[in-house]
Structure 1
């Protein structure tokens, strides 16, 4: 694995820590625990993220997307996405969803980290797209997200294998600014911590911003 970021990066140490653990683990155990399929013959995991399918090699942790129409692949380019996926492979656990959705405040430690999440994700989503509803819809349709009947515009998408997120927008007017809500499928707290779930928001909104420039 080639580290393509500065040696003083705050992401270097956590990445190297989890990468070392990943190299020493049994891929069959990882697959059983996380539900991420593993191709034994070709030695890679098959992970879905934001509408695209990736092959993640073991033990090298080299990442390659399978060709599709999305056009942007954060798991190959964004270090926060690489670390998040690596953490899930090393520490995550799968659990079936009961079909319910949670606000960030409802997840363990969500209330404690909510102020950070509000500025980092909710405000960014609201002020990024609350006045550009049509553009938001175009991007979400491009990702293959499922349209919902919530707020002024809303979509559900699979963030990672069997872990779903809902983005809901309310358009602003002369009296009120735009607002947003982000909901997580109820199996998210088994897979990720509250801190990681804020990164999920970061990655998801970051992909929308990238696609907005490309479409």
Structure 2
């Protein structure tokens, strides 16, 4: 999903989405399907996805989501295989072909987390809880989020000290490859980091 090719990516996604059986997509994604639309949560906001048009709107405001958000939602519907969670966390590099995208993933997702929260875990805690995260047991502090119903994403932070600089990681369930292309997880991780940064601004 290269930035310079988003319109083509959307066109292809819409074509694939319109050809799939809506009832199959509903159970595989965990969405509700009724009256020609899917209903689910995306990044903690309730959304509606029309079928077969593939228009994605915020259910509360009625506003259409942006281009990248729309593509991610459509890709979720297209690629979701319905696999159960494996309850085993893996890193981005362990996703299929993850090593190819590790540099943009690190720049877009990991470094902003380290920069803002690496030396202030209490701020990370406040922002994560305000954004709906669930406390986990990894690193010095970690929180799990569900940007899609069947995609848990765990943000992990290690505080810096005199010997080591702060560090961060983002973990995915081992079933993640059955729900989105690996490249999309770089976008999704960046969106989660951005959401936390926005929440951080409201808890200062």
The CA distance in 1 between the partners of 2:184 and 2:78, in whole Å, is 14
Once the 2 structures are TM-superposed, how far is the Cα of residue 172 of structure 1 from its aligned partner?
2.0
Once the 2 structures are TM-superposed, how far is the Cα of residue 91 of structure 1 from its aligned partner?
3.0
Deviations 1:72-93 (A, max 9, x none): x9x9544322211111212332
2:39 matched to 1:46? yes
Once the 2 structures are TM-superposed, how far is the Cα of residue 190 of structure 1 from its aligned partner?
0.9
For the 8 Å contact 1:125–1:205, the answer to whether it is kept is yes
The CA distance in 2 between the partners of 1:77 and 1:85, in whole Å, is 10
Once the 2 structures are TM-superposed, how far is the Cα of residue 17 of structure 1 from its aligned partner?
2.1
SS in 2 for 1:105: helix
Give the alignment partner of residue 57 of structure 1, picking from 32, 50, 63: 50
- With over 3 angstroms needed to count, the CA separation of the structure-2 counterparts of 1:48 and 1:133, relative to structure 1, is same
Q: Which moved more, 1:24-33 or 1:126-135?
A: 24-33
Query: What is the TM-score of this pair, normalised by structure 1?
Result: 0.81
For the 8 Å contact 2:141–2:158, the answer to whether it is kept is yes
The CA distance in 2 between the partners of 1:56 and 1:139, in whole Å, is 29
For the 8 Å contact 2:131–2:196, the answer to whether it is kept is no
Gaps spanning 5+ residues in structure 2: where? none
The CA distance in 1 between the partners of 2:4 and 2:198, in whole Å, is 23
State the partner residue of 1:80.
68
The CA distance in 2 between the partners of 1:203 and 1:94, in whole Å, is 23
Tell me the matched-pair count. 200
The CA distance in 2 between the partners of 1:128 and 1:55, in whole Å, is 33
Query: What is the TM-score of this pair, normalised by structure 2?
Result: 0.85
Deviations 1:146-168 (A, max 9, x none): 11232222111212112111111
State the partner residue of 2:195.
207
SS in 1 for 2:156: strand
The CA distance in 2 between the partners of 1:26 and 1:182, in whole Å, is 33
C-alpha RMSD over aligned residues: 2.5
Alignment of 1:137-148 (within 5 A): 137-148=125-136
Once the 2 structures are TM-superposed, how far is the Cα of residue 135 of structure 1 from its aligned partner?
2.0
